[in-house]
Structure formats: structure tokens, C-alpha cells
């Protein structure tokens, strides 16, 4: 959730930190703060409630000096949104300073123990406990007095340390139950920065004479192309002379760096007013990048190099279990229809947060597939671990190279769509659906799918990007519709078969971006409850292309109209019948039924975007949400 950046190097730390955390603001924007360690062993900094811009305004033109520092943008879990609860947090005398992403599950009992030992706390957060634990490990017998003020300012005490900085961190972390991504500095060791990870993403950018610790690669792109991804239970000790990685038993780990293939420019808005709109318009390119080099048109097949080593398991699979959260879950639901109808294999799709807490029954011949744009989604990772522990081949579809899920899975497929910055996922959805279409080809051609059908699917998939671009040209018309319906506070999204998950996804986008109540529903299920809500003030959005369930959808529209409900329809070009009964229609080009979600979702993404913008909301950073959900 939260954004973390740490820096040690040759440049003034604060500009690097502010630039890095700005690129991570989608991970949390309740409050922010930084701590800079000067050469005089004095820590100075600032905190502010709100977005990074509020912190930058508070700093103004002040210079803080120092070439070592940490910064944090918060997505609140424990404690309200206040400056006192903003990170970084420190120990009693302002010697230890740290930024944290995660949750300390046993913080109350730890805090009680520390209070009894004389520690004084300044915040309501679970994070502050970690700083005091490290302090206790360094010097358990010295007297303590609270640091002055709520801002990160303190001077190292004169007490003698009972252990090294890294050992103290290690011993403190052993007492913690929960998750953490941590970057820590010690005021009397200006040439050292410590980073640690457990179930919360953290990487180290390897620059020239400098290191950047971050919770996401977007923060290091300008300074480092090579990164070390820390694994769970690992700690990195960074100095001006080099870096070392240890486990919590202080056994050194030999880790290879990886190259980030994203450019800084790909993480910028370019000419678009918002990242969300930019990423909606990048949807066609996302599909192209996801299928490039993976289609074998003449054979009507797909080649997924990342799955080569598990091909025997896929060939003999009797069932596929898909697990994901949010938008990725909706993509998985589309994949379920594809794989069952054309791949000829039973599929079960689960919300990862439910999968991990029930007792799933695995069978011989099962294959597990996790879907996560970030590759760090906590619940999806836990579901993946559960499958692996039961001996089930565990696959993944992820976007971020080197992410935890990518590294933990037995095999997988990368999306190759570049960074997705907008909190509400858009281009990742169409990429994931495209890859599931490729997987359908791969499995289907090993079973009963004919070469003719394979070629048809493959050829239609190559046409999808251009058809998406055609829909995107209607953006202004969709904005007009958003203005027309902007006064309504409730929407029902309805679909059937392949477009049922699209109905759920369309409703999710509107909720995320505009804070308007919207819900997805199976059109056939509507009569069993949801239709009770319909009147002239409750519009319905029907995804009704001319497919195998078209006539059923028309009947459902008639049922809504009979109750004075307003209807917006997403329909196939040339469909005049639907125009006679719906109040408004957004047309999409004709394609194969299994591929219609790649087209029908685009106007729903645009509608949500324009609806939110017209309400004056920050659509890139919707309230209470963060891009990568790394806590439960």
C-alpha cells in the first residue's frame, strides 16, 4: 500500500526522495513525511497531511542538506490521518528513524512491554513500535526521554550501543508478527541505510555511487536500471562502499540484480490530463504488447515461452483454478468462460481473499493460476502459496518483472504493458484478458479445438487493437453521456455470459472513480431481486452485443423499460433494434463473442473516467484506495 523511498549516495537526498515518492503517490496519499540525516548526525525533516504536494508546499524552498534520507506516503491502517501518525517514525531520542509498509499484528502486546520499560510513544501507529524495538536492542538499559515536537528532528544520544545497527534490526524483526517493507536509518551512522522485507514489496536500485530503496520500481527509474528484489525474511545493509544482503540469521545471500525494462517516460502523463485517461488510450497498445510474438497464426495456436517448463502439466490438466482480486478477478472470470468453452477444461475462479481462508479441495490434475498486475497483491500471493504448498503447479500472469508473485510462481506470463499508475486499473484488464485468450488457444489446440477455429480466434485477436482505437474515438460522445447522467447516484450494470464480468468491472470502475453506488448483476438474475430497485431515478447499463445471448438481453431491457427505468446500452454497430428501446447507445465493432469483453469494457472505462472528472474528483487517486494492496 504505502510508498517508501530511501536514498544513500552522492547527491542531496531530499530532491531524489521527493521525486521518487511522487512517482509512488498512487500507493498512498493520506499523508507524507521525510527524514534527512545530515553529516552532523542530526536528523531533520517535515510531515504533512494530504498528498505529496502538501508536503512539498510545506518544505517550500528550504534546504535540508544531507545525502542520506527516507520518505514515505501513507495509506492509513492503524491510527487516524494526522501529522503525528505520518511516517517516518522514531524511537525515544530520535536516533532510529524508519518508514514502513505493512501491519504489525502483535503491536499492542509489544507496545505494552515497551511502555513498561520506559519507552514513550508519540503516535497511534503500529509502525512506531518497530523503532522502539530496535532502540531496545541497541541499548536496553539507558534512560529515555521523548524527542521534542512532532516533526522528525532529533540528535543522537551519547549512550553506548550494545550491538550493531544491523543486528539490532534483525533481533527486533524477529519479535514482529505481520508484514513489513522497511527502510531504516540511524542518526549516528550517516553512511548506512538498512532495508528489510517480509510479505511487503521492497527493492534496491543500484545506481552509480548511490542506492535507492523503494516499494515500487517507478521510484528508481531515473537513477537505476539494475535492481535487487528483496525476498521475504531478507535485509539489505547499504553503505557508501557497497551493499550486502542477509537473512534474519545474518547469513549472507548472493543475489543477482535484474534490469528494469521500463523507461521513466512511460510513467509520465505526456499530453493527457490524467494517468487514467492515458492508460485507457494505451489499451490497444497493451493488447498488442501482450500478444506480440505469442501467436502462431498459421497453426491457430499460441506460444507462451514462460509456460514451457509446465507444458506437461497443462497438457494433462483436468481443472484450472484461477485466483485474483478486483479487476484481475473480473479478467479471470472472462478467462473462465473462454477456457471452458474453447479450451475444453473445467475452470473455477475465486476471489483470492476468500480462497485463502476457506479450505480449497485440490485434486490430481489441478493447475493454479494467479493474476495480479503488480505481482504483490497480498491475498493473491497467499493463495499462490497455498497451492504450491499442496503440490499444485502454480502459474501467474503479472505485469511487474521481478515482483514477488512472478518470482514465487513455477511459471508465468508477463503482460509487458509498462507501468500502470492510475489506481483504477484499465489497460491491465484488457492485457490480462488477451493473455487468457492466448492460454485458451494453447490449451484448446491440445484438446478438441480445430485448426480452423484456432486460426479464427488468432486472427480476430490481432484485429482487436484497431477496433479498440475506433471505440476510443467516441470519448467525447461518452463524456456527453456522463454529463447527461451525472445527476444520478445509483447505477445497475447488467450482462450475460462473457459480458457478465464486464458488467461487474464497469460497476467497479464507476464506484472507484466517482464514489457513486453501482453494482453489477447477471441480467438473468435481475428478476430475483435487483429489479426491485429500478425506477426513473435508477439507470441501468446493459452490455448487449449481438452474440448468443442477445435476444435474452433485449428481453431484460424491456423489463427495465416497463418499470420506467433509464437504459444505456453497449451494442454492436448497426444494431437498430436496440436503439428503439434503449435511451442511449454506445456502439462497438463486431468481433468473436469470446473477445467482446476487450471491446465492451472500453466505453465503460471512459464513462467512469468522464463521470468522475465532471464531479471534480481526482480520478488517478480515488479516496481510500491504493494501487497495490499489500496488506489484508
Nearest CA to 167 out of 138, 146, 124 is that of: 138
Nearest CA to 595 out of 388, 436, 455, 417 is that of: 436
Kindly name the residue from 2, 92, 325, 521 that is annotated as catalytic.
2
The C-alpha atoms of residue 409 and residue 412 are separated, in whole angstroms, by 7
58 exposure class (CB count in 10 Å sphere: 0-12, 13-18, 19+): middle
Look-up: residue for cell 467512469? 608
Cis peptide before 88 (omega within 30 of 0): yes
The C-alpha atoms of residue 570 and residue 132 are separated, in whole angstroms, by 57
Coil/strand/helix, residue 462: helix
Whether 2 is a known active-site residue: answer: yes
Coil/strand/helix, residue 561: helix
Angle between helices 326-341 and 500-514 (to 10 degrees): 170
Coil/strand/helix, residue 119: coil
Whether 487 is a known active-site residue: answer: no
**Under a CB-based contact definition with an 8 Å cutoff, are residues 212 and 7 in contact?**
yes
Look-up: residue for cell 497464426? 297
Q: 46 CB contacts (<8 Å, ≥6 apart)? A: 33, 34, 55, 58, 59, 151, 152
Q: 366 CB contacts (<8 Å, ≥6 apart)? A: 317, 318, 319, 320, 321, 392, 393
Cell numbers linked to 69: 534520507
Look-up: residue for cell 545493509? 237
Kindly name the residue from 278, 509, 511, 627 that is annotated as catalytic.
627
Looking at residue 161, the DSSP 8-state letter turns out to be: P
The C-alpha atoms of residue 565 and residue 561 are separated, in whole angstroms, by 5
Centroid of chain to Cα 425:
8
Question: What DSSP letter does each residue of 249-271 carry, written as one string?
Answer: T--EE----EE----GGGGS-TT
Q: 312 CB contacts (<8 Å, ≥6 apart)? A: none
Check residue 245 and give left, alpha or beta (phi > 0: left; psi -120 to 50: alpha).
beta
**Under a CB-based contact definition with an 8 Å cutoff, are residues 46 and 105 in contact?**
no
> How many Cα atoms are found within 13 Å in the side-chain-facing hemisphere of 553?
31
C-alpha to C-alpha distances, 525 to 112, 494, 530, nearest whole angstrom:
52, 9, 8
543, β-bridge pairs: 570
> How many Cα atoms are found within 13 Å in the side-chain-facing hemisphere of 568?
22
Q: Cα torsion for 282, 511, 354, 436, to the nearest 10°?
A: -20
Task: Give the DSSP H/E element, type plus range, for residue 567.
Answer: strand 567-572
Nearest CA to 375 out of 222, 223, 217, 211 is that of: 217
CB atoms within 10 A of CB 456: 13
Coil/strand/helix, residue 36: strand
Centroid of chain to Cα 221:
18
Q: Cα torsion for 89, 234, 378, 607, to the nearest 10°?
A: 70
Looking at residue 281, the DSSP 8-state letter turns out to be: H
Mind telling me the catalytic residues? Answer: 2, 627
Amino acid at each position: 500500500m504505502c510508498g517508501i523511498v530511501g536514498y544513500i549516495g552522492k547527491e542531496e537526498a531530499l530532491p531524489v526522495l521527493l521525486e521518487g515518492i511522487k512517482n509512488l503517490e498512487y500507493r498512498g496519499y493520506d499523508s507524507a513525511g521525510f527524514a534527512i540525516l545530515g553529516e552532523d548526525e542530526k536528523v531533520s525533516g517535515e510531515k504533512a497531511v494530504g498528498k505529496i504536494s502538501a508536503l512539498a508546499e510545506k518544505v517550500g524552498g528550504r534546504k535540508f542538506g544531507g545525502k542520506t534520507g527516507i520518505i514515505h506516503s501513507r495509506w492509513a491502517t492503524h491510527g487516524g490521518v494526522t501529522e503525528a501518525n505520518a511516517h517516518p517514525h522514531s524511537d525515544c531520542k530520535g536516533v532510529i528513524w524508519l518508514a514502513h509498509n505493512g501491519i504489525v499484528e502483535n503491536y499492542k502486546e509489544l507496545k505494552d512491554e515497551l511502555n513498561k520499560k520506559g519507552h514513550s510513544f508519540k503516535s497511534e501507529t503500529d509502525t512506531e513500535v518497530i523503532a522502539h524495538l530496535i532502540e531496545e536492542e541497541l541499548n536496553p538499559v539507558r534512560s529515555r526521554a521523548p524527542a521534542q515536537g512532532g516533526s522528525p528532528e532529533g540528535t543522537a544520544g551519547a549512550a553506548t550501543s550494545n550491538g550493531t545497527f544491523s543486528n539490532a534490526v534483525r533481533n527486533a524483526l524477529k519479535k514482529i508478527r505481520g508484514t513489513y517493507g522497511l527502510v531504516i536509518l540511524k542518526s549516528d551512522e550517516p553512511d548506512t541505510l538498512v532495508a528489510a522485507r517480509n510479505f511487503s514489496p521492497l527493492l534496491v536500485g543500484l545506481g552509480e555511487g548511490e542506492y535507492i530503496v523503494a516499494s515500487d520500481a517507478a521510484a528508481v527509474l531515473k537513477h537505476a536500471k539494475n535492481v535487487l528484489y528483496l525476498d521475504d525474511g531478507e535485509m539489505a545493509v547499504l553503505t557508501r562502499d557497497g551493499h550486502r544482503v542477509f537473512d534474519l540469521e545474518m547469513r549472507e545471500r548472493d543475489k543477482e540484480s535484474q534490469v528494469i525494462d521500463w523507461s521513466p517516460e512511460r510513467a509520465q502523463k505526456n499530453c493527457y490530463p490524467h494517468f487514467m485517461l492515458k492508460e485507457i488510450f494505451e489499451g490497444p497498445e497493451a493488447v498488442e504488447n501482450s500478444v506480440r510474438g505469442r501467436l502462431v497464426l498459421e497453426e491457430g495456436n499460441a506460444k507462451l515461452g514462460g509456460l514451457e517448463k509446465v507444458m506437461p502439466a497443462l497438457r494433462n490438466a483436468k481443472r484450472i483454478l484461477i485466483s485474483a482480486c478486483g479487476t484481475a478477478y473480473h479478467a479471470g472470470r472472462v478467462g473462465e468462460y473462454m477456457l471452458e468453452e474453447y479450451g475444453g477444461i473445467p475452470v473455477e475462479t475465486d476471489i483470492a481473499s476468500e480462497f485463502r481462508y476457506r479450505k480449497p479441495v485440490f485434486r490430481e490434475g489441478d493447475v493454479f493460476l494467479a493474476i495480479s498486475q503488480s505481482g504483490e497483491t497480498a491475498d493473491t500471493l497467499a493463495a499462490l502459496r497455498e497451492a504450491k504448498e499442496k503440490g499444485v503447479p502454480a502459474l501467474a500472469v503479472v505485469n511487474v518483472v521481478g515482483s514477488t508473485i512472478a518470482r514465487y510462481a513455477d511459471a508465468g506470463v508477463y503482460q509487458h504493458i509498462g507501468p500502470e499508475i492510475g489506481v483504477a486499473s484499465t489497460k491491465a484488464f484488457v492485457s490480462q484478458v488477451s493473455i487468457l485468450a492466448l492460454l485458451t488457444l494453447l490449451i484448446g489446440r491440445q484438446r478438441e479445438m480445430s485448426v480452423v477455429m484456432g486460426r479464427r480466434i488468432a486472427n480476430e485477436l490481432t484485429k482487436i487493437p484497431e477496433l479498440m482505437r475506433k471505440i476510443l474515438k467516441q470519448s467525447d460522445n461518452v463524456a456527453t453521456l456522463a454529463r447527461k447522467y451525472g445527476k444520478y447516484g445509483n447505477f445497475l450494470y447488467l450482462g450475460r455470459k462473457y459480458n457478465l464480468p464486464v458488467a461487474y468491472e464497469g460497476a467497479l470502475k464507476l464506484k472507484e472513480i466517482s464514489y457513486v453506488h453501482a453494482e453489477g448483476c447477471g441480467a438473468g438474475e435481475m428478476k430475483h431481486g435487483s429489479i426491485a430497485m429500478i425506477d426513473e431515478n435508477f439507470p441501468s447499463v446493459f452490455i448487449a452485443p449481438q452474440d448468443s445471448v442477445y435476444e435474452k438481453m433485449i428481453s431484460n431491457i424491456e423489463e427495465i423499460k416497463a418499470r420506467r427505468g433509464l437504459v444505456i446500452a453497449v451494442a454492436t454497430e448497426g444494431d437498430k433494434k436496440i436503439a428503439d428501446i434503449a435511451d442511449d447507445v454506445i456502439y462497438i465493432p463486431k468481433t468473436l463473442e469470446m473477445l467482446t469483453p476487450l471491446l465492451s469494457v472500453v466505453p465503460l472505462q471512459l464513462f467512469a473516467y468522464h463521470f468522475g472528472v465532471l464531479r471534480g474528483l481526482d480520478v488517478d487517486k480515488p479516496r481510500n484506495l491504493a494501487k497495490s494492496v499489500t496488506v489484508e
